[in-house]
Copies of this chain bind each other. A is one copy, B any other.
Amino acid sequence: MTTTTSRATTNLEQMRRIFNPRGVAVVGASTQPGRIGYAVVENLKNGGYAGGVYPINNRAEPGQALLGYPILKGVADITGPVDVAVIAVPAALVPGLVPEIAAKGITGMIVISSGFSETGNVDLQKQLQAAAKQHGVRVMGPNIYGYYYTPQKLCATFCTPYSEQGGVALVSQSGGVGMAILGYSRSKKMGVSAIVGLGNKSDIDEDDLLEYFGQDDNTKVVAIHMEDLKDGRAFLEAAKKVTKHKPVVVLKAGRTSQGARAAASHTAALAGQDRVYDAAFQQAGVIRANTLEELLDWARVLQMLPDPAGEDVVIITGAGGLGVLLSDACEDYGLELMKMPKDLDEAFRKFIPPFGAAGNPVDITGGEPPATYENCIRMAIREPRIHSLVIGYWHTIITPPMVFAELLAKVVREEAANGFTKPVLATLAGDVAVEDASRYLEERGIPAYPYAPEKAVAALGAKYKFWRGSKAG
């Protein structure tokens, strides 16, 4: 085993080095736009990565450059510090690269190349694993799109750069799912710390990443798409530690017998009994999503919402019908509608028409001006017995969507400055103007759902799952 003085020895040290590399080599760099070996170099540059970038191609001619970087014939020729090598050469050549990479002191190989066990070449993947283990190099992949780490402006991938910095670390086993993650995140302006493809998981898997993200101050929420767990025990141990202070959401694909069959043919994943996964996730405090949209929406909202101080949820709505749908969803997602105390009931009644309904949902009725929404929302945010607030807005001429959005954002901001914070989410029922109003709210940190009341409650339910687990832990 070749070692250098700077060799990282623990998993955490190795992951730190991989996510914060001093330099990145791109093995299989290409001067042809459209090729993976070109796109990776281009993304490192355009993403704004500040470390060293080293295109490597053993057929490089002296003096040849790519996007301003000299192309080197081998990693041995790199003169600056380098911690990561992104690999984009044909699969058969990959295991042979390991000794040279290890000799250079590189910690992690990011193997984009496909053509390993996913195409039946199990032996080739075993060769790669054996070489990497022998030489003390960690492998991400093979068969992946690469990875992003926004705190370092690192886009070590052939996909397009991602620049919205934030606290969600997203991990996926499948490239297709990874691309959906990228598009969804960009569309929703989700602040992201990392997007990582795990592919065949020949070495680095979910528990390795959890250990890093758990202690990473840039990461507030971890969201994982997986088709299997190579080491269930290690995952659960790692997850248990993280979920005490950061939410971990998992979409376990291959939940059903038809899905498990598809997963087996896809990555040769041994999809376990789903009930075993379910029990294990619950025990580890992991929030389980059933669809890709749940995984992504919950991750997004978990980052936006502060923790609640208790179980009592209040709904304030301009439309009784929305109140009913929101109440149904509260029961579906395990949330408790607060039993409204008499004094609070009376206090709400002062703001709403005599035929409005206090109790919970607080139904302010549809004909009310902005002041009624504002008074009720402000009181609910200031009231310590109310722990979370879901608002069902009804589009009317008297309180148009943007007027509602501006007043809600203002009240939340003002009361946060006064020291009153709690989860506040909104759903907006109305004509298409509610879409702009929802975007306005989201940009100000308030989750807002046009036309889809139940989704607001589902996301709050995910927050409560995390909060209960972290409290118990």
Contacts and interface: CB of A to CB of B under 8 A. Distances in A.
Interface of A: 34, 39, 114-115, 118-120, 159-160, 172-177, 179-180, 182-184, 186-187, 225, 227, 251, 253-259, 261-263, 265-267, 290-293, 296, 315, 317-332, 337, 354-355, 357, 359, 361, 363, 366-367, 392, 394-395, 397, 429-435, 450-455
A244 to B, nearest CB: 29
A177 B429 CA distance: 7
Nearest to A431: B183
Given A266-B357, A293-B455, 4 more contacts: A120-B355, A176-B394, A265-B363, A266-B323
A183 B452 contact: no
A328 B34 CA distance: 34
A172 B394 CA distance: 14
A394 B178 CA distance: 10
A397 B34 contact: yes
- Number of this chain's copies in the assembly equals 2
Contact of A324 (B253, B291, B328, B395): B253
B321 A454 contact: no
A337 B263 CA distance: 14
Contact of A327 (B34, B186, B258, B326): B258
A262 B322 CA distance: 10
A360 to B, nearest CB: 8
A262 B360 CA distance: 7
B291 A454 contact: yes
A352 B54 CA distance: 35
A183 B258 CA distance: 36
A357 B292 contact: no
A321 B176 contact: yes
A340 to B, nearest CB: 11
A176 B319 contact: yes
Nearest to A393: B176
Nearest to A118: B355
A254 B367 CA distance: 23
B265 A321 contact: no
24 contacts: A34-B397, A39-B397, A114-B367, A175-B319, A175-B321, A176-B317, A176-B394, A177-B322, A177-B429, A180-B450, A180-B453, A183-B395, A183-B435, A184-B451, A187-B451, A258-B328, A263-B324, A266-B320, A266-B324, A266-B357, A266-B363, A291-B454, A292-B454, A296-B451
B429 A328 contact: no
Task: Give the one of A251, A262, A291, A395 with max B CB within 10 A.
Answer: A262
A430 B183 contact: yes
Contacts of A174: 319-322, 324
A175 B331 CA distance: 23
B322 A430 contact: no
A117 to B, nearest CB: 10
Nearest to A457: B291
A435 B172 CA distance: 21
B266 A176 contact: no
A279 B24 CA distance: 62
Contacts of A367: 114
A227 B321 CA distance: 8
A424 B385 CA distance: 51
Given A355-B120, A435-B187, A179 B430 contact: yes
A177 B327 contact: no
Given A327-B258, A453-B292, A172 B321 contact: yes
B177 A321 contact: yes
A327 B327 CA distance: 31
